[in-house]
Chains A and B, each alone.
Chain A
């Protein structure tokens, strides 16, 4: 597809929720953890770690961070020892790894630092050291 360069960020109409009462989906009306944002181009607009997780990572790693299994597996981030060394998740987010797409071109250094810090302090993880944008920049080189 051609690259999109949306001119305007879209404001969401609250009326969308009315449609959630459609009979087939009446059982699935749990509200999103965070109001979704819609990115107007090839880069994500979400800034905070929480928003990035809710709008990007959650697609595969799920709301509880526990991932899912079908023919293959999206690994659980909950209590995941691979997150101990902060360089590992930074590298995976920037460059991708197997089924994990690379996000280095779609997120800034600040965004990647924010989402890695969010994951390392939620879902049963409580790592105290913080990843900075400089750390991400170093991984990109």
Chain B
């Protein structure tokens, strides 16, 4: 998520240092090493021991809530789910032609995509190391296909660089890597690295730089068939007469540095974005639907929770049936697994400890907007040979992502025309949906001029306008995590929270499922030992 400058108050700083410096430092170190985002899934959960007919009320039919329902019922509990929406899945959601939704403020959008085309407005990709999501997909029969994070032929774009012309990933990546290698090789050859590397290692380093950077035998990176073998050609090798390839001229290092396009290369390197990534065939909501295939019979839809109260006997939840809102309804159970997003839960009357309540109140949700656009033809494939993957830009739309399915077909296509965080997400959220779409089309046309002629329709999902979340996902600061995370996750009397917000992988489905599995494991332990 965002890496933001954090203003630390003296009080916060003292409590941070006083109570949690060890774990905060550990978290930082683990994040740097890439361990904190490894999911730690240990295979299917085993809840052994008889719950003796105990009942659990689950609030929210997203992945966390449905995981809890599926596993607790299997372990012998009586379970019931209350869900605000009229569908299962929560943020696990796909928009197709004919779907309509109403955002806060009252505007209803109806998706006009052609049959078979879709947008995943929430989660859209699954890393290979999100083993819990992958395991549930396997167990529930959800077919997966590759999600393309790195497409070497997609674009990197900066409005103020290269005359505004988008550059291919393979050119920027290869030319940057090649010229950095050349610099390092030069330094090594001049003896400037002799204090850092042994003589033997220096020879191996030079070989490695030549290989990694596509340098020629003089350790130079320049236009020749050695560099072209990596970066590509101005004229590709062909067949027959006049088929000789012509290598392209590298973009010089200074231009790449000043363009800042190098910063997007990190999106292809980070642990969460490394190949292989997956998406469900047909839309991300195939996962939510598969869960609902197992537990749909215990979900009460259109149920708006208004109060959560516990005592020695059990938990009583007051809710409004949105289809018949006249009189409040009550649901009771021995225990409660609450997955309601914190911007909503923080507003509900709930009698939990002061520490848990403070934790519920302490986590803001990030702002994010996704915009899906349908075009008359898949011009990104036909004209530009971009098959799936993501282009990055410094325009407010931030990303354009191409469909990772249905390749090379004639006919219409839907791409993700904007995926933004930070100030631009707030700015787009503040516009009416039609204007968000219009701006996304206008900005996108700077990268793909075909937009103007080929655009047909679109949908715009601004997560702070979604009535069922009031935001995108838990936006933990390290400081809030140190102060509140453990208090958020503790079982409080008969209530335990779950969801991506109760994980170290916020905004990822893996976080929702792992948090749920951990919560019900601890809950079950308490029940059978009682």
Contact = CB atoms under 8 A, between A and B. Distances in A.
The size bracket of the interface on B is: 35 or more
A97 B343 CA distance: 9
B3 A24 contact: no
B468 interface: yes
B264 to A, nearest CB: 8
Given A19-B438, A141-B9, A99 B427 contact: no
Contacts of A29: 434
Interface in B306-330: none
Contacts of A100: 364
A78 interface: no
Interface in A31-87: 32, 36-45, 54-60, 62, 68-74
B344 A5 contact: no
Interface in A7-29: 7-8, 10, 12-13, 15-20, 22-25, 28-29
Interface stretch (A101-109, A112-120, A122-130): A101-109
A43 B430 CA distance: 16
A28 B426 contact: no
A40 B396 CA distance: 8
Interface stretch (B105-113, B173-181, B274-282, B498-506): B105-113
A7 B344 contact: no
Interface string B224-252: 00000000000000000000000000000
A16 B110 contact: no
Contacts of A7: 158-161, 260, 394
Contacts of A25: 109, 433-434, 437
Contacts of B7: 104-105, 140
Contacts of A3: 2-4, 422
B424 interface: yes
A71 B340 contact: yes
A7 B157 CA distance: 12
A56 B426 contact: yes
B263 interface: yes
Contacts of A1: 1-2, 398, 421-422
B422 A4 contact: yes
B5 A105 contact: yes
Interface in B444-479: 455, 457-458, 462, 464-471, 475
A59 to B, nearest CB: 3
B364 A68 contact: no
Contacts of B394: 4, 6-8, 40
B365 A101 contact: yes
B395 A10 contact: yes
Contact of A24 (B106, B365, B457): B457
Contacts of B266: 2
B383 to A, nearest CB: 21
Contacts of A17: 438
A70 B112 contact: no
B485 interface: no
B457 A71 contact: no
The 3 closest A-B pairs by CB, nearest first: A70-B467, A99-B343, A25-B434
16 contacts: A3-B4, A12-B439, A19-B441, A20-B435, A23-B457, A25-B109, A36-B431, A54-B430, A59-B429, A60-B104, A68-B105, A70-B104, A101-B366, A104-B7, A106-B422, A141-B10
Interface of A: 1-8, 10, 12-13, 15-20, 22-25, 28-30, 32, 36-45, 54-60, 62, 68-74, 96-102, 104-106, 140-141
Given A1-B1, A43-B423, A71-B469, 11 more contacts: A8-B159, A10-B159, A22-B434, A28-B432, A30-B432, A36-B431, A39-B424, A44-B423, A70-B470, A71-B84, A140-B9
